[in-house]
Amino acid sequence: MATVSFDRFYRYDELTDILTAWAAEYPSVFAFESIGKSFEDREIWLVTVTNTATGPASEKPAFWVEANIHASEVTGCTAALHLLHTLLTSDEPRVKRALDTRTFYVVPRLNPDGAELALADSPRIVRSSVRPYPREDEQDGLYREDVDGDGRMLSMRILDRNGTWKKHPDEPRLLIAREPDEDDRETQYYRLVPEGMIRNYDGVSIKMAPPLEGLDLNRNFPADWAPDSDQPGAGPFPVSEPEIRAEVEAIVARPNICGYISYHTMSGVHLRPHSGKPDDDFPVDDLRTYKWIGEQATKRTGYPAVSIYHDFRYHPKEFIKGGSDDWMYDVLGVYAWTTEFWSPIRAAGIEDFKFIDWFVDHPVSDDLALLAWADRELGGSGYVDWYPFEHAQLGPVELGGWDRLHCWTNPPLHLLEQEIAPHADFAIFHALISPKLELHSLTHDVLGEGKHFVRLVVENTGWLPTNVSERAKQRKACRPIEVSLVLPDGARVVGGEPKVELGQLAGRHMKRSMLGWRADDSTSDRAKAEWVIEAPNGGTLEIEAKHQRAGVVRTSVKL
Ligand SMILES: [Zn+2]
């Protein structure tokens, strides 16, 4: 087994080596291929995992995992590797069943260029793609940089009579906001800016420069897309970026996909669509199903499952557009999630917090709890006490504060594996609830005079219906079950049609309570096709029933 540990992050070449080793070691279940090239010409790897002895990947219902679309959110890649490792090494019967009956498609690092920058010896942090956008030249202003060359990017505090911040009376490392009516000549006030250098500094003004690499690849998907003026980073048009085009084309080319997760950091939460619409806009059954799957996600991982629109909005009047989970659900009609790994807030024992609003405002007691957590868990490397530095442009400043990349963007390495480990189980659960077309029964009666009655009954043994969601029906996102015959020489169909469509089959997903109004147990998960075949010479009749999402059933009858 290629040695992989989950207490570190892997650069692109190492990641490729791991995939290569696994493909060599597990040739019957593990394969990987390139789905396209990144902006800097790196291959974007797609891993396919299934037990090929029980059928090819394309003929089984599939679950898609995408990771590391955002450059520095490398925990997502680690979680994807951990899922692959679990699939390859687990002895659990349900994992074996998942490999026998389902397919996993995993893109461990959709954005290899951005991740490579984040993992460099002197890291540079971009939001996602490294392509300069929307301008190719740098604008004036402050750029984050490790100005004292100690490998960290902290904050700079600058003494300023009009500053916003002052020392906490009992914990001088912590800065707290000055009171609205406060102006005390004895108190030192500070201005707080990220560690960095200012392009074309005029000696007076400090402003943040817009990032040179201003794209956000998770705003570039073809769902509810809006231009840069509406939301920075969207790109010039939907699917304009090579990484997103590669993924969208690869997903559309695999109509067996029934579910999706995108791995990100941070917040410790599972997010679901819609981003731009309230829950009332869902088909009722889809919303209930989403919530039930979300309950399972929480049970297995400890992370709450919430709506982006209702619970994860960066601004009360702005909505995320062009995100992958919205595209997967709204256009393709498959249940799609964005998992944000890791929350230092929760790690510090703060349970009751709103994911985004907390960053705007929270009690100082939370800051103190976080500082105590960092001291305890990270021995001073998470929150750095302020130390003097002579800045080439600003003169004497102090460097210190949170080392965000080290303990906010991703978990500290010694906590990484325990954070990601439970999530493989949720991905496997999600794969196993997909629809699954299976043979129920095959009947063959000899009618005499060379005529044969043949009846095929198929059933959906999955929890979800063959169409997966009501949204998929509305979008006509998948075809009905199609049954076709291959007749032996000289045979002909004299009753029935050689090609039959059997519609969609129900799952068990809406049957939750014996007392439910809709808890009738009719056989809507079952369908039949019947023929009378005239075959004077005997031979073998081949029957194939296939559904794009639910899989393929093949059987035959000796006439
Ligand atoms: Zn992200």
Percent of the chain with pLDDT over 70: 99
d(CA 481, CA 60): 14
Q: What is the mean pLDDT of residues 251-279?
A: 97
Cα 355 to ligand 1 centroid, rounded to whole Å: 14
Q: Are 329 and 224 within one domain?
A: yes
Cα 69 to ligand 1 centroid, rounded to whole Å: 7
At 544, is the secondary structure helix, strand, or coil? strand
Instruction: Tell whether the model's pLDDT for residue 405 goes beyond 70.
Output: yes
Residue 240 belongs to a domain? yes
Residue 6 belongs to a domain? no
Residue 338 belongs to a domain? yes
Cα 43 to ligand 1 centroid, rounded to whole Å: 21
Give the model confidence (pLDDT) of 73-108 as tens digits.
Answer: 999 999 999 999 999 999 999 999 999 999 999 999
Cα 51 to ligand 1 centroid, rounded to whole Å: 31
pTM: 0.97
Q: Are 225 and 312 within one domain?
A: yes
Q: Kindly give, in sequence order, each residue whose CB lies less than 8 Å from that of residue 80, ignoring residues fewer than 6 positions away.
A: 65, 67, 68, 106, 107, 108, 109, 263
d(CA 271, CA 305): 6
Cα 76 to ligand 1 centroid, rounded to whole Å: 9
For every residue of 22-91, which 3-state class applies, written as one string?
A: HHHHCCCCEEEEEEEECCCCCEEEEEEECCHHHCCHHHCCEEEEEECCCCCCCHHHHHHHHHHHHHHHCC
Q: Are 204 and 225 within one domain?
A: no
Is 437 buried (19+), middle (13-18) or exposed (0-12) by CB count in 10 A? buried
CATH number assigned to the domain comprising residue 270: 3.40.630.10
Q: Are 441 and 525 within one domain?
A: yes
Q: Are 368 and 268 within one domain?
A: no
What local confidence, expressed as pLDDT, does residue 121 receive?
A: 86
Q: Which of 299, 323, 342 is the last residue of a domain?
A: 342
Q: Are 296 and 231 within one domain?
A: yes
Please report which confidence band the pLDDT of residue 512 belongs to, taking 50, 70 and 90 as the band edges. Answer: confident
Q: Are 519 and 545 within one domain?
A: yes
Residue 355 belongs to a domain? yes
Q: Are 241 and 113 within one domain?
A: yes
Residue 374 belongs to a domain? yes
Please report which confidence band the pLDDT of residue 1 belongs to, taking 50, 70 and 90 as the band edges. Answer: low
CATH number assigned to the domain comprising residue 483: 2.60.40.10
d(CA 480, CA 423): 32
Residue 432 belongs to a domain? no
Q: Are 370 and 481 within one domain?
A: no
Q: Which of 317, 342, 367 is the last residue of a domain?
A: 342
Q: Are 310 and 275 within one domain?
A: yes
Q: Are 86 and 234 within one domain?
A: yes
- Beta-ladder partners of 335: 259
**Block residue for tokens 């707290």:** 176
Cα 28 to ligand 1 centroid, rounded to whole Å: 33
> Domains in the chain: how many in total?
3
Cα 181 to ligand 1 centroid, rounded to whole Å: 38
**Ligand 1 is a single-atom ion; what residues have CB below 5 A from it?**
70, 73, 264
Residue 127 belongs to a domain? no
Give the model confidence (pLDDT) of 133-155 as tens digits.
Answer: 999 999 999 999 999 999 899 99
For residue 369, the enclosing domain spans: 141-211+346-407
Q: Which of 314, 342, 370 is the last residue of a domain?
A: 342
d(CA 418, CA 425): 13
What local confidence, expressed as pLDDT, does residue 2 receive?
A: 66
Q: Are 333 and 350 within one domain?
A: no
Cα 308 to ligand 1 centroid, rounded to whole Å: 13
Residue 422 belongs to a domain? no
